[in-house]
Structures are given as C-alpha cells and as structure tokens.
Structure 1
Amino acid sequence: MKTETIAWLQSIEALKDVPATQLEWLYDRCEELKIEAGGRVFKIGERMNGTYILIEGKFRLCVVQGDGLKEVAVFGPKAITGYLPFSRGITFPGVGEVLEDLKYLFFPIEKSEEMIRTQFELTQALVHVMTNRVRDYTSFQQQNEKMMALGKLSAGLAHELNNPAAAIVRGAESLLQHLKLAPATFKAITITKISAENVDYVSGKLFAVLSKTERPALSMMQRSELEDELADWMDDLEIPKSQEIAENLVDFGFTLDDLEDFKAHIPVETISPVFGWINNNLVTERMVMDIDAASRRIAELVGAVKSFTHMDQGSGKQYADIHTGIRNTLTLLQHKLKHGNVHVVEDFDNTLPKVNAMIGELNQVWTNLIDNAIDAMSPNGKGTLEIKTSRAKDCVSIAITDNGSGIPEEIKSKIFDPFYTTKEVGKGTGLGLDVVMRIVKQHSGNIKVNSVPGQTTFTVEFPING
C-alpha cells in the first residue's frame, strides 16, 4: 500500500520531480483522514493546521461576500492545499465545504520546519504550489474588486439614469394630454377681435420673454409675493385659473409691467382667452424644457461613462485634462455623494497642462480614493470632500481630503498592503488601495497619506509628461 501511494504521489503534477525518498518521508508523517459530504474541512478564521493532499472526493473554498458565501475554488483528487511552506497565511480565509465524500492525506504544520531543513526538492515543489495559489487568488480578488467597484458605479448610475428617464416618460405623457386641449384654446382665440398689429405685439412680447436665458433669482418670499400680485391683477379682470397662470408667468420671469403691456394691446373682452393662450404656450414650453433637460442629463451620464472607461480610445498613454476624469468620477458617484450628504469642494488649477497618462487606469485611482473618502465620512451622516489639483515642479498633484474619523496611526503603514481592509466582512477586499498604489507606480508617481481625526488627505503625484 505504501509503495502504491508513493507512486500515486509521483503522479501528481506538482510532485513529479520530487525524489521518491522525499515522498516516502512525506507519507510517513501524514495521516489519512475522511470527511463525509456536507462536512467542513476547515472554518473561516480557523488557524491553519497543516497541508491537505486530496485522494478522493471534492471540497470547495467559499469566502464571505455581502450576506452570503461566494465560491472561490473547487479542489478534487491530487489537489494540494492548506498550509504551505513560507506561507504568510495564519488562518483560513474562508470555509472548506465537502461536496463529495473526502479522503485525503494530512501533513501537520508542526513537521514543516523539519521538511524545510531536510527535504529541499519537496519544499521547493510545495512552494511552487503556494506561488500558483497566491497568483490565482490574487487574480480572483482583483477581478472581484473590479466587479465590486463596477457594482457600486452601476447601482449609482442606474439610480441617476432612472430619474431623468422617468421625467421624460412623465413629461411626454403630460405633453400629450396637454396638446389635446389645443383645439379648445384655438377656438377661443380665433373668435377674439384683435388687430393683426396687436397680435404681432402680443406674440412678439411673449416669445421675447421666453427667449431670455437669464431670469432674476427670487427668494421663496419674493416669488410668493409676485405670484399673489399677478394673481390679484388677473382676478380684477376675471381671468380664470389666475393662480395657476401667475405661477407659470413667474417661472418664466414675467412682471406686472409685462402684464400691463399685454393689457394695453388686448381688447378688454378678449383678454381672458388671450391669457389662456399665453398660459397654454408657457405650459407647453415648460414641458419641452423638462424633457430636454432630462434628455441632456442622460446624455451627460452616458458621456461620463464613455469617458470614464475610455472605451473609445486606446489603452496606452495619451495627453488629457486630468480634471475631466475626476469630474466624470464625481458624476458616476453622484448618487453615493447625495446619499451620504457629502458636499464637494473643487479647488482645481485650470492652468495645468494636459498629462500623459493611461486615463482609464487613473479613473480607477479617483474612484477608489473618492469612494473610500465617502465611506470614511458615512458614520457622521454628512461630510465635506475637497479635491485640489496643483503643479509640483514637473509633476501634477491631486489631493483628496475628507473630514471623516481619520486613519489610526497603528494601521497607517498597512493600508496599501494587498488584502488589508478595515471594512466589515464582505464590504471590502483590501485591494482598493493596493490597486491605487500599483497604478500610481505605473505612472512613475507616488502616493502619500496624512491623517488626523477629522482630516485625511491622500496626495497623488506623477510626471506631467509621463
């Protein structure tokens, strides 16, 4: 049996070059164990106790994500996992759930030091297994980090798109109903006795006011007083729906003097249908403006996504305005900013030249740093996010500051380490700042953090010309 097992160990790809004497040494120090389907090989947070070499059956590794478990990998016959030489892992990152009745060789961690000292090729083979595992797990986590970031952006984007889309639907329905009233308005206006000269004056006056791009800013009190003033004026002339018409007139910047001008060019007996016609035009104009604004908002969001992902351009370096990417990121995170009651202060140096960079990659930097800043301020229920750009000799400098609780001094040196996170289980992978550091280094730049309670600043610097 022992000879057969040694031959079987040699059939494992990772151990094929290990001398038989060393595999025999390994087998002599292993224990053969079994676990039925549905059992657990290990639990999350449990201390690693040894190496597992699977003979029969399957188990899967699941990590916590959100409120549930996410499958990371499935291990079957000839798989080697658990503790491996020189591994920095101390506890299991997830749950080992048995899918099929499992039989495996268990090599206790206490024997690892002796193996490292005396069994060179065996140690070398197991270290190779570990490096492959680290590479695969890192790739999974990086992909998971991207998907989580995409999930955050898409959720916020869906919310932001839903509002203008719903506004367009409502506006189109309201406009359709409103246009059905046009025949009655047309009938009322056609039977009025008003000269062609006065018709030209009234229509010209109306559309002159509508064409104004700037209207006076009124306080709530000023607006209410003006609406009452115009409504009273129309009540004196027995014009129906005076309050509704007054609100619409104020929306478009009409004053009492404008109404007096209209009155001077409209016979008294026709003033009511004429103001009905004026109001009908104002309502139509407002509906069209609402639909136009909502459509432009959707176009703006789609443009921000396109620019953010840089999907219509190459992935290499090119010259671009650093502020465009930052503003696009703020646009895509707008829902989260509003939800967190975060006030954004932009202190941008607009004289900065265009930078030679991988814009799509840098947008990941702004997303991670801004998203982390919003999370840091969330316990306060509100916050201020300041983004400052400036020039530092031949480099561009971007400082992102939040007034959250700050980063404790004892963990400040760890925040850029892969897989290190201060967020709750399932809320973060610990790769956000690791990704930031990697991208900044790709741009021959550096990132530093200064943090005290109530103020944390991440400063990114990289050469303007790449």
Structure 2
Amino acid sequence: MQTVTVSWLKSLEVLNNVPDDQLQWLLDNSKDQFFEEGEFLMQPEEPITGPHITVEGSMRFFMMQGTSRRDYTIIGPGNITGYLPFSRGKIAKGYAQAMTKLHIRSLDTGLIPEMIKNHYELTQALVSIMTTRVRDFTALQQQNEKMMALGKLSAGLAHELNNPASAIVRDSLTLKKHLSEEPESIKAIFSMKIEPEDVSAITNTLFSLIDAKDHTRLSLKQRTQREDEIIEWLDEHEIENSYDIAESFVDFNFTIETLETFEKYSPNKNLTHILNWASDMLITEKMVRDIQESARRIAELVSSVKTFTHMDRAQDKQYADIHIGIRNTLTMLGYKIRKGNISVIEDFDETLPEVKALIGELNQVWTNLIDNAIDAMAVNGKGTLTIKTRRDREFVEVFIVDDGPGIAPEIQSLIFDPFFTTKEMGKGTGMGLEVVQRIVKQHRGSIKVKSDPGHTVFSVCFLIDG
C-alpha cells in the first residue's frame, strides 16, 4: 500500500509548488479510504464530498440514460477529484464507481473554508483543477449535445432523402418500361399521311399545354368531373384506351376544346393513334418532371446540410443572413414537422442586415429550440410553430413560438440549468438549453422564455455586429 507523505504529494504536478507546511496540513486533516472493485463512491442526489486524491487504482464517473451508461471520465492515480474550492455544484448528478481496488486520500469538505482562509497556494492549486475540469466537462457535454442533435437530424434526413431517392428509382424503372412500349404507337404515327401544317398544329397544341406554367389546380370533384367528360368524348369517337389516356390528359389541363383541336387536324381514322401518342408523350413528360423534382429535392437537402453545418466556412465569426440558417434547420427537421402535423409560420423581417456570428453555432441554437417546440406540441397531435425575426436598434431578435401545453411556472427558472430536463430518461441530456444559453452569451446576447398554456415564446436577442 502506498503511504501518502508530503514528498509523495509534491510528486503530483498540480501540488509540486505548494509549500510543505500546507501539504502537511492537508495530510493531518485527511484520511485514507479504500473501496472494492464495483463499489460506489457517489450516487445521484448525494452530497458531493472531498477533495479526494486518488492514490492507487482508478474510478469512473458516469450517468445513466435509460438502461445505457454514459461514461464521462476515468480518474487514475495522482488525480484529484470531488468537491473543490468555490465549486457551485454540491449535489451529485451522476455516479462515481471504483473500477479496481481503490485507495483515496480524502479531506473533510467542512474544512474547505479554513483551507481557503489560511492556505492560499493549496487553494489555488485545487481551484486550477476545478477550472480544467469545468472546461473539459463543458467541451465533452457540448460535443455530446451536438452528437445527439446530429442523431436527430440524421434520422429525419434519412426519411427526407429516402422519399425522393425511392421516387427516382421507381419513376426511372417505369419510364424505361414505358419507353420500351412506345415503338408500337410510333409505328402507327409513321404510317399516317398528314399534311405538314396539320402536324405543326397538333404538336403546337400539345407542347403549349406541356410548357404551360399556370396549370389550373383542380379539386378532386372538378378533376373527376373533367375525366368523366373526356372519357365520354373519347368513347363517342371510338378512341382506344380512353380510360387510361383521360387521366394523363387531365394532368395537363386538357379540355373538350383541346380534343376538338386534335380532331380538326387529324384524319378521322388516325385520331385514336394521335391521341394515344399524345398521351404517351404526356406520361413521359410527367415521369421526367417527377425525376427532376426528386433530384432537385435531394440537391436541396444536401445543400441544406452543407450550409447548416457551415462546413465550407472558417470557424470564426462571419457575416450571414440568419434566415438561411433558420430555413435550413426547418428543412432538416422537415420529416419531424410533418410527422407531428405541425404548421410553420415564418414571420421574417426580410430587411434585416446580415449578422456577424458563428453561423454553425447559431444553427445549433435554432435546432435545439425548434426541436424542443416540436416535442412540446407532440402531446396535442398537431400544432403551429411560429418563427418571427425583427430588428431592435443594433440588435436582432428571434422569437420561436409554439402552442403546446407550456412550461410549468415552478420550473421556468430552471430550464437553462445544466442537466435539467423535462424529458423522460434516454431522450434528453439536460444540456440542450444550457448549450443554447452559452452560445447566445458568446454572441453578446440573451435568451428569455415566457410560457403560458398554449403559448410558449423563446426570445433570442444578440448584436447584429457581434
């Protein structure tokens, strides 16, 4: 067993500049403690004791999320942990457990005021440990929070990308099959004898409808009525496949007048071939458009990811339009918004100038606040999310409003505290809003909350030229 002496204490880097008399005071007022492997030194809701100097063996610190253990750090020989001078936390939030047989030297927490008063260098050494611990723990928690946010976004993004990707595969296969069947209708067209001016009239009529930008959107009732009218006309003129081609004609706003135009410029015996050819052209056009739209959607999502993470920018403050970040966040959370049956209202002041900020960090703010609002409205099965921006002199203000059940008055003052969460175990670290507050303060701003049942507002205010 290692005997703890002044000489051994001075071998520790953090204590090697502390005067011997102060280390002797530490020895005289501390005692040895021994723990078996697996034994707990600390559990949640217990008072934090110490300082503790690890002499032999090691211990781990962790928290539980559901049935999963999340390790934060491992302490080995020569490290100092436990309650330290000027620590704000007095109650344990997690566990400390011996990983092997463990020998620690512990100072009674009640003697810390005496140490602070009479032993400056020893106090200073322990405070430096606390500062390092806070910095490292904060960085770890921020990284964990980012990973959790990334996990949420990735799940939603997988759904967002799956739909257009599946559509491209489906439509491309259908288009390939459709094109393989077209030669039969083309043969009939080639065998016709039509005057050039009639061909021009037919093709001009067709492509004017294909190229039309202002298609009238029909209600289900109007569409059904239009299809019935077209089918009736086609049947009267003994057109083959009348039921099938009527659907494609309605998609492109065909009317009875359109069909009469085709009839006017087509030899009677060839009208069925011309209308079936026109339907084939429309079906091909529609599938190509669907493929283009799906590809555009994928490109938009990839662009949103790139802009959201801001991975093409330097890691310092840049001037940027905050509305781009907010809209990209909404895109990234689009699947969750639709799944929650949530309407989004964008009340943006488009005259806002670009703000100088760490845009990637601000996007983390929008992600946390919007995601929390979506979760809050989930109990209602629907909701309205309102995002408003405005300028207040040299500041920009962003309001994120939901119509969920609200935050209970007795906990509103606690929501920005580290580890505080209203979510069930495994669904929140309690670091989201604490990280949000830290990022906002980093931008020389503030964040406030006002909540009543059916109306919760988070307001973020920060300098435009921060």
Question: How well do the aligned residues superpose, as a CA RMSD in angstroms?
Answer: 2.5
| Secondary structure at 2:187 match in 1 | helix
What is the CA distance between 1:282 and its match in structure 2? 1.1
Q: Is the 8 A contact 1:31 1:105 kept in 2?
A: yes
Instruction: Describe the SS at the equivalent of 1:50.
Output: coil
Judged with a 3 Å threshold, the aligned counterparts in structure 2 of structure 1 residues 21 and 60 are, in CA distance, closer, same or farther, namely: same
CA distance in 1, matches of 2:465, 2:355: 6
Equivalent residue number for residue 382 of structure 2: 382
Instruction: Specify the alignment match of 2:437 in structure 1.
Output: 437
Aligned to 2:279: 279
Q: Does 1:213 align with 2:213?
A: yes
Deviates most, 62-71 or 297-306: 62-71
Within 5 A, what are the aligned runs for 1:133-212? 133-212=133-212
Matched, 1:62 2:47: no
Instruction: Output the CA distance in 1 between the equivalents of 2:170 and 2:424.
Output: 41
TM-score, length basis structure 2: 0.91
Indicate if the aligned counterparts of 1:193 and 1:270 stay in contact, CA closer than 8 A.
no
Aligned partner of residue 391 in structure 1, secondary structure:
strand
1:314-354 deviations in whole A, cap 9, x for unaligned?
A: 44444433322221221111112112221111112223333
Larger CA deviation: 245-254 vs 121-130: 121-130
> 1:6-55 deviations in whole A, cap 9, x for unaligned?
43222222222334444344334444333333443333444334343222
Identity of aligned residues (%): 53
Secondary structure (helix, strand or coil) at the match of 1:181 reads helix
2:367 paired with 1:367:
yes
**CA pair 461-23 structure 1, distance change in 2 beyond 3 A:** closer
Q: Equivalent residue for 1:453?
A: 453
Distance 1:317 1:76, change over 3 A: closer
Q: Is the 8 A contact 2:34 2:103 kept in 1?
A: yes
Please tell me the residue identity of whatever aligns with 1:243.
Y
Give the equivalent residue in structure 2 for 1:347: 347
CA–CA separation in structure 1 for the residues paired with 2:108 and 2:69 = 28
1:295 counterpart residue number: 295
Work out whether residues 383 and 403 of structure 2, in 8 Å CA contact, stay in contact via their aligned partners in 1. yes
Aligned to 1:88: 88
Aligned positions, number: 466
Partner Cα distance (2:394, 2:238) in 1: 72
Q: Which amino acid aligns with 1:367?
A: T
Aligned positions of 1:13-92 closer than 5 A: 13-65=13-65, 67-92=67-92
Deviations 1:123-158 (A, max 9, x none): 333232222212211111111112222222222222
AA in 1 matched with 2:224: S
Q: 2:346–2:386: 8 Å Cα contact kept in structure 1? A: yes
Q: Once the 2 structures are TM-superposed, how far is the Cα of residue 225 of structure 1 from its aligned partner?
A: 1.1
Do the aligned partners of residues 377 and 24 (structure 1) sit closer, same or farther apart at CA in structure 2, a change above 3 Å counting? same
Judge conservation of contact 2:322–2:354 (CA < 8 Å) in 1: yes
Quote the offset at 1:311 in angstroms.
2.8
Question: Bigger CA drift: 234-243 or 143-152?
Answer: 234-243
The 3 A distance-change label for structure 1 pair 33 and 280 is same
Which moved further from structure 2: 280-289 or 172-181? 172-181
Change (3 A) 1:39 1:462: closer
Following the alignment from structure 1 to structure 2, what is the Cα–Cα distance between the partners of residues 32 and 398?
A: 55
Aligned to 1:311: 311
Q: Distance in 2 between matches of 1:141 and 1:221?
A: 56
Is 170-179 or 105-114 further displaced after alignment?
Answer: 105-114
**Distance (whole Å) between structure 1 residues aligned to residue 362 and residue 326 of structure 2:** 9
Per the alignment, residue 103 of structure 2 pairs with 103
Q: How does 1:315-330 map to 2 (within 5 A)?
A: 315-330=315-330
Which one is further off, 149-158 or 283-292? Answer: 149-158
What is the TM-score of this pair, normalised by structure 1? 0.91
Q: Distance in 2 between matches of 1:65 and 1:354?
A: 40
Give 1:17's aligned amino acid.
Answer: N
Q: 1:364 to 1:192 in 2, by over 3 A?
A: same
Cα shift readout 1:135-190 (whole Å, capped 9, x = no counterpart): 21111111111222222222222221121111111111111111111222222322
Distance in 2, Cα, partners of 1:463 & 1:440? 10
Separation in 2 of the partners of 1:7 and 1:348?
66
Residues 465, 115 of structure 1: alpha-carbon distance in 2 compared, 3 angstrom cutoff: closer
Residue 7 of structure 2 corresponds to which residue in structure 1?
7
Distance 2:443 2:30 in 1: 49
1:41-81 deviations in whole A, cap 9, x for unaligned?
A: 33344433434322222222222346411221111111222
- Other-structure match for 2:265: 265
> Is contact 2:389-2:396 (8 Å) kept?
yes
Corresponding position of 2:242: 242
Q: Which residue of 2 aligns with 1:125?
A: 125
Q: Is the 8 A contact 1:228 1:243 kept in 2?
A: no
- Where in structure 2 are the equivalents of 1:407-446 lying within 5 Å? 407-446=407-446
Evaluate the alpha carbon distance shift between residue 441 and residue 292 of structure 1 in structure 2; reply closer, same or farther with a 3 A threshold. Answer: same
Q: Measure how far apart 1:237 and its partner are.
A: 2.8
Gaps of 5+ in 2: none
Structure 1 residue identity aligned to 2:341: N
Distance 1:445 1:47, change over 3 A: closer
